[in-house]
Chains A and B, each alone.
Chain A
Amino acid sequence: MTSVWITDAEIATSCGQGVDALWTHLISGAPGIDEVTRFGTECYITSYAACVPDLTPTPQGSLLYPLLEQVLPESLKVPDDAALITATTKAGIDSLQSWSRGRAGGMEDTLASTVLQWLQAELHLHGPATNINAACASSTIALARAANMIAHDAVDCVLVCCADLVSEFVFSGFSALQALSPEPCRPFDQDRHGLTLGEGAASLLLMSQARAEREGRSCLGQIVGWGAANDANHITAPARDGCGLVQAVERSLRVADAEPGDVSGISAHGTATVYNDLMELVAFRRVFGERRVPIHSVKGAIGHTLAAAGAIETALSLRMLDRREMPPTLGFEKPEEGAAGRVSKQAQSLESGLLLSTNSGFGGINGALLLAAGGRQ
């Protein structure tokens, strides 16, 4: 199969623009979680979320567009023949909120097709364009799809662009499901009480090795394996035995022609809900046995960014591979059973090898990516 390079990665989170900003927050133990001011939270479980600072609506209405603009700098230089794959669960849902309350706004922004059209126009793209919705595994599966297309020579360049907002719509829903943590979330901690919502965006440019070399692009890292699978168990809760995640990870290992022993670290979904984190620990133990593979969750710093989570975590994982270091998991203090010696509130060194990035979502879907450092051939 053709080698799949990631040549550019831009992210925007509550910790600022770029991987550098997020890395600095993680190393210094400064989460980007604060009280929401965008809408009233008096009737919800919590007032905490991780909002991207200084987003102001554009004439289009939704905050989604200024959020996306943060991950589309001119330096990105997206070729106009690039295929476009987006991942968003609710797109510009804030516009629908305004419309429903009788204010300005409309429903168009809620449709992913509108986001695709906007991106095509902004970037002058004329290749195929598709949005993938697989709940909180959306961008993981979008990256998997992009990698698969390049690996099989269907295309040689794909822009994967992902975003979701902190909105009253989503906030109220997770609150109604009793899934929000009253305090900033604590992934893999014994005393975790749910997730903290976040918003964020990411754009990752993927190319075949041949095209990237031809265009003189650098290699931030490679996607060498990918997999997705469904629990076939429950709509909103993960399977306790982690069956779908195990299947997704094993599939990614097969694609990479790798063994579990080749994996040196895991960027987990780590939402800090009781059942998600337990499920992941069970699944990782099924795949990796008793070997203490370092595990990281970024959600204690930037919240759960929904469809954008997988792409943001992939960008961060590339930095981990580059530095051979896993940053602290913020919010983590007392290890859940199975997390001791794997998750840490301190930075952990990484041995050379592959990094596994996983996400899971409503509808029982799980996605897994295997990433290699930039130098791997």
Chain B
Amino acid sequence: MKVSVSGIGWVTSKSFGAASMLSRFELTAGTLPKLRRRDVFEQPYQRFGRLDTFSKLGLAGLAFALRDAAAEESAGKRDIGIVAATHLGCLGTDLNYYDTVIPQDGLLASPNLFAYTLPNCFLGEAAIRFGLTGPGYVINEAGAVSLTALQMAMEMVCWDQCPGALAGFCNPPLPEEADLDAPEIPGAVFLFLQPPGAESAYAELALSAGGSFCVGQQQISNWDQLVTTCLEKRSAPTDVGSTQNRL
């Protein structure tokens, strides 16, 4: 099965934005930027300020991927799906929410925070913002985040579930109070996938029956490699809009 990679967006410790506006991709450990509305959307968007950290991170990644494909704006709703992998999900929001429950035996429980204790809610935010009506869900894996979300999104497109899909991961930083190991580098990366032959695509991505991903002759085994390879496949991007200075 094959799809075109039409857009790439990310938020990492090194940079954030649409791939075509950035000089290079690096997924390395470090502190993620505290995203403000104007970092992601030019126009006022009141809902953004109400979102929890996890949702802001995921929504930004999705927005940048769509923007990169010149697909951010649309006259109406669109049948585009989303599959997002995460390890911790909204654990930080869970802790913050339960901190509002403990005092006074739940009398002060925050309905606004509770709404974001479901990790798929940022997909709903993206659906509202960009008019995306396709299937959408968040996945967790037994181990580290792999390319499973990518496979699921490719299958959405190739098995006629929807004509386009966003695939990626959203890994927020480990909450300070959490007594867990953090197996993932924090960040969000999303790709916009369309049927093969899409105009101005970065590359064609193939998935073999045996489960191997390839871009051209290059075998792909992780998100970092996938993004880097897609960027190499497209002619050198203009080095404008780097967000290095903004971080």
| Residues of A close to B107: CB separation below 8 A | 43
Contact A133 B98 (CB under 8 A): no
Contact A152 B94 (CB under 8 A): no
| Residues of A close to B155: CB separation below 8 A | 148-149, 152, 154
Assembled-state Cα–Cα distance A228/B161 (Å) = 8
Known: A229-B135, A230-B133, A363-B120. A113 touches B140 (CB 8 A): yes
Contact A112 B128 (CB under 8 A): no
Task: Tell me whether B2 is interfacial, beta carbon within 8 Å.
Answer: no
Select the stretch in B9-17, B27-35, B141-149, B188-196 that faces chain A.
B141-149
Q: Kindly provide the distance from the CB of A166 to the nearest chain B CB, expressed in whole angstroms.
A: 14
Contact A133 B118 (CB under 8 A): yes
Known: A110-B91, A138-B137, A365-B136. A233 touches B104 (CB 8 A): no
Contact B94 A228 (CB under 8 A): no
Contact A364 B110 (CB under 8 A): no
Task: Tell me whether B42 is interfacial, beta carbon within 8 Å.
Answer: no
Contact A231 B133 (CB under 8 A): yes
Contact A365 B137 (CB under 8 A): yes
Assembled-state Cα–Cα distance A168/B128 (Å) = 30
Task: Tell me whether A62 is interfacial, beta carbon within 8 Å.
Answer: no
Contact B140 A232 (CB under 8 A): no
Assembled-state Cα–Cα distance A44/B104 (Å) = 11
Interface size class of A (residues with CB under 8 A): 35 or more
Task: Tell me whether B99 is interfacial, beta carbon within 8 Å.
Answer: yes
Interface centre among B99, B137, B143, B155 (most CB of A within 10 A): B137
Residues 229 to 272 of chain A near chain B (Cβ within 8 Å): 229-236, 243-244, 247, 251
Q: Kindly provide the distance from the CB of A44 to the nearest chain B CB, expressed in whole angstroms.
A: 6
| Residues of B close to A231: CB separation below 8 A | 127, 133
Contact B88 A111 (CB under 8 A): yes
| Residues of B close to A228: CB separation below 8 A | 134-137, 161
Pick the residue among A100, A129, A172, A362 that contacts B115 (CB under 8 A): A362
Q: Kindly provide the distance from the CB of B154 to the nearest chain A CB, expressed in whole angstroms.
A: 11
* Chain B residues proximal to chain A, CB less than 8 Å: 77, 79, 87-89, 91, 94-95, 97-99, 101-102, 104-107, 109-111, 114-115, 117-121, 123-125, 127-128, 131-143, 148, 152, 155, 159, 161, 178-180
Contact B120 A135 (CB under 8 A): yes
Assembled-state Cα–Cα distance A340/B124 (Å) = 33
Bitwise, A108-120 to B at CB < 8 A (1) or not (0) is: 1011110011001
Task: Tell me whether A40 is interfacial, beta carbon within 8 Å.
Answer: yes
Interface centre among B77, B131, B142 (most CB of A within 10 A): B142
Bitwise, A321-340 to B at CB < 8 A (1) or not (0) is: 00000000000000000000
18 cross-chain CB contacts under 8 A: A96-B98, A108-B180, A110-B94, A111-B180, A116-B142, A133-B89, A135-B121, A148-B161, A152-B155, A154-B155, A173-B109, A175-B106, A176-B109, A229-B135, A231-B127, A362-B115, A363-B118, A364-B124
Contact A132 B139 (CB under 8 A): yes
Contact A100 B124 (CB under 8 A): no
Task: Tell me whether A293 is interfacial, beta carbon within 8 Å.
Answer: no
Pick the residue among A100, A152, A232 that contacts B159 (CB under 8 A): A152
Contact B106 A172 (CB under 8 A): yes
Task: Tell me whether A54 is interfacial, beta carbon within 8 Å.
Answer: no
Known: A116-B141, A133-B89, A362-B120. A232 touches B128 (CB 8 A): yes
Contact B97 A107 (CB under 8 A): no
Residue of A at shortest CB range from B117? A173
Assembled-state Cα–Cα distance A365/B124 (Å) = 8
Residue of A at shortest CB range from B51? A235
Known: A173-B109, A232-B131, A365-B124. A111 touches B87 (CB 8 A): yes
Contact A362 B124 (CB under 8 A): yes
Assembled-state Cα–Cα distance A44/B99 (Å) = 16
| Residues of A close to B131: CB separation below 8 A | 232
Assembled-state Cα–Cα distance A361/B140 (Å) = 18
Contact B117 A229 (CB under 8 A): no
What are the 10 closest A-B residue pairs judged by CB atoms, nearest first? A363-B124, A173-B114, A228-B135, A112-B140, A134-B137, A176-B111, A116-B142, A172-B106, A131-B140, A172-B109
Assembled-state Cα–Cα distance A136/B22 (Å) = 38
Interface centre among A90, A244, A363 (most CB of B within 10 A): A363
Task: Tell me whether A93 is interfacial, beta carbon within 8 Å.
Answer: yes
| Residues of B close to A251: CB separation below 8 A | 161
Contact B142 A362 (CB under 8 A): no
Residue of B at shortest CB range from A85? B139
Contact A130 B148 (CB under 8 A): yes
| Residues of A close to B179: CB separation below 8 A | 99, 106-107
Q: Kindly provide the distance from the CB of A163 to the nearest chain B CB, expressed in whole angstroms.
A: 14
Q: Can you name 7 extra interface pairs (CB under 8 A) apart from A96-B98, A232-B133?
A: A130-B141, A135-B120, A175-B106, A227-B135, A229-B133, A363-B120, A364-B128
Task: Tell me whether A214 is interfacial, beta carbon within 8 Å.
Answer: no
Known: A116-B140, A232-B77. A168 touches B101 (CB 8 A): yes
Contact B137 A133 (CB under 8 A): yes
Known: A113-B141, A173-B109, A176-B111. A235 touches B124 (CB 8 A): yes
Contact A230 B180 (CB under 8 A): no
Contact B105 A232 (CB under 8 A): no
Task: Tell me whether A3 is interfacial, beta carbon within 8 Å.
Answer: no
| Residues of A close to B134: CB separation below 8 A | 228-230
Assembled-state Cα–Cα distance A164/B27 (Å) = 34
Assembled-state Cα–Cα distance A370/B147 (Å) = 29
